[in-house]
Chain A
Amino acid sequence: MTAIKEKYNEFNALPAQEKRKLVKEKTIDNALYILILLLIIVVVNYNPKFISLSSIINILTLSSTRLVMALGISGCVILQGTDLSAGRMLGLTACISASMLQAPTYAAKMYKTLLWLPQDGASAIIGQLLMTMVLVMIVGAILGAFNGLMVAYFKLHPFIVTLGTQLIIYGLSLLYVSLGSNAGAPIGGLDSRYTAFVLGNVFGDTLLFGVSIPRVLVYSILVAIIMWVVWNKTVFGRNMFAVGCNEEAAKVSGVPVFKTIVMVFALAGLLYGLTGFLESARVGSNTAATGDGYELDAIAACVIGGVSFTGGVGKIRGVIMGVVLLQIINAALIFLSVPGSITYIVRGAIILVACAIDMRKYLTKK
Chain B
Amino acid sequence: MEEKVVVSSEENEEAVEMEEVHANFQEELPPSNHIYDKLNIPIKVLDGVIIGGIVVIVASILIGVFLY
Q: In the complex, are the beta carbons of B43 and A360 less than 8 A apart?
A: yes
13 chain-A/chain-B pairs, Cβ below 8 angstroms: A31-B50, A310-B34, A333-B61, A337-B65, A345-B56, A345-B60, A346-B60, A360-B43, A360-B46, A360-B50, A363-B41, A363-B43, A363-B46
Classify chain A: how many residues form its interface, as a range.
20 to 34
Query: With A345-B56, A346-B57 as given contacts, are A339 and B41 in contact (CB-CB < 8 Å)?
Result: no
Query: Which B residues lie at the A interface, using CB under 8 A?
Result: 30, 34, 36-37, 41, 43, 46-47, 49-50, 53-54, 56-58, 60-61, 63-65, 68
Q: In the complex, are the beta carbons of A356 and B61 less than 8 A apart?
A: no
Which residue of A has the minimal Cβ distance to B29?
A249
Known: A28-B50, A337-B68, A338-B65. 17 other contacts (CB 8 A): A310-B36, A333-B64, A336-B65, A337-B64, A338-B61, A339-B64, A342-B63, A343-B64, A349-B60, A352-B53, A353-B50, A353-B53, A353-B57, A356-B53, A359-B36, A362-B36, A364-B43
Query: With A310-B36, A336-B65 as given contacts, are A35 and B57 in contact (CB-CB < 8 Å)?
Result: yes
The interface bits of chain A over 2-33 (1 if a CB of B lies within 8 angstroms of the residue's CB, else 0) are 00000000000000000000000000100100
Complex Cα distance, B34 from A310, in Å, reads 7
**Chain B residues in 8 Å Cβ range of A338:** 61, 64-65, 68
B45 to A: closest C-beta gap in Å: 9
**Chain B residues in 8 Å Cβ range of A357:** 50
A79 to B: closest C-beta gap in Å: 14
Complex Cα distance, B43 from A93, in Å, reads 43
Complex Cα distance, B57 from A343, in Å, reads 9
Complex Cα distance, B65 from A333, in Å, reads 9
Complex Cα distance, B64 from A35, in Å, reads 17
Complex Cα distance, B30 from A248, in Å, reads 10
Which residue of B has the minimal Cβ distance to A350?
B57
**Chain B residues in 8 Å Cβ range of A349:** 53, 56-57, 60
Query: Which A residues lie at the B interface, using CB under 8 A?
Result: 28, 31, 35, 39, 248, 310, 333, 336-339, 342-343, 345-346, 349-350, 352-353, 356-357, 359-360, 362-364, 366
Complex Cα distance, B30 from A60, in Å, reads 45
Complex Cα distance, B54 from A51, in Å, reads 24
Contact of B68 among A310, A339, A346, A352 (CB under 8 A): A339
Complex Cα distance, B43 from A362, in Å, reads 10
B44 to A: closest C-beta gap in Å: 10
Q: In the complex, are the beta carbons of B61 and A28 less than 8 A apart?
A: no
**Chain B residues in 8 Å Cβ range of A342:** 60-61, 63-64, 68
**Chain A residues in 8 Å Cβ range of B54:** 31, 35, 353
Which residue of B has the minimal Cβ distance to A355?
B49
**Chain A residues in 8 Å Cβ range of B63:** 342
Closest 3 CB pairs of A and B: A338-B64, A353-B53, A342-B64
Which residue of A has the minimal Cβ distance to B45?
A356
B53 to A: closest C-beta gap in Å: 4
Complex Cα distance, B47 from A31, in Å, reads 11
Which of A39, A336, A356, A366: most chain B Cβ within 10 A?
A: A356
Complex Cα distance, B67 from A337, in Å, reads 11
A196 to B: closest C-beta gap in Å: 37
Which residue of B has the minimal Cβ distance to A345?
B60
**Chain A residues in 8 Å Cβ range of B41:** 359, 363
Q: In the complex, are the beta carbons of B43 and A353 less than 8 A apart?
A: no
Q: In the complex, are the beta carbons of B60 and A352 less than 8 A apart?
A: no
Which residue of B has the minimal Cβ distance to A356?
B49
Which residue of B has the minimal Cβ distance to A34?
B54
Which residue of A has the minimal Cβ distance to B34?
A310
Complex Cα distance, B64 from A339, in Å, reads 6
Query: With A336-B61, A364-B43 as given contacts, are A356 and B56 in contact (CB-CB < 8 Å)?
Result: no
B31 to A: closest C-beta gap in Å: 12
Contact of A353 among B49, B61, B65 (CB under 8 A): B49
**Chain A residues in 8 Å Cβ range of B60:** 342, 345-346, 349
Complex Cα distance, B63 from A302, in Å, reads 28
**Chain A residues in 8 Å Cβ range of B49:** 352-353, 356
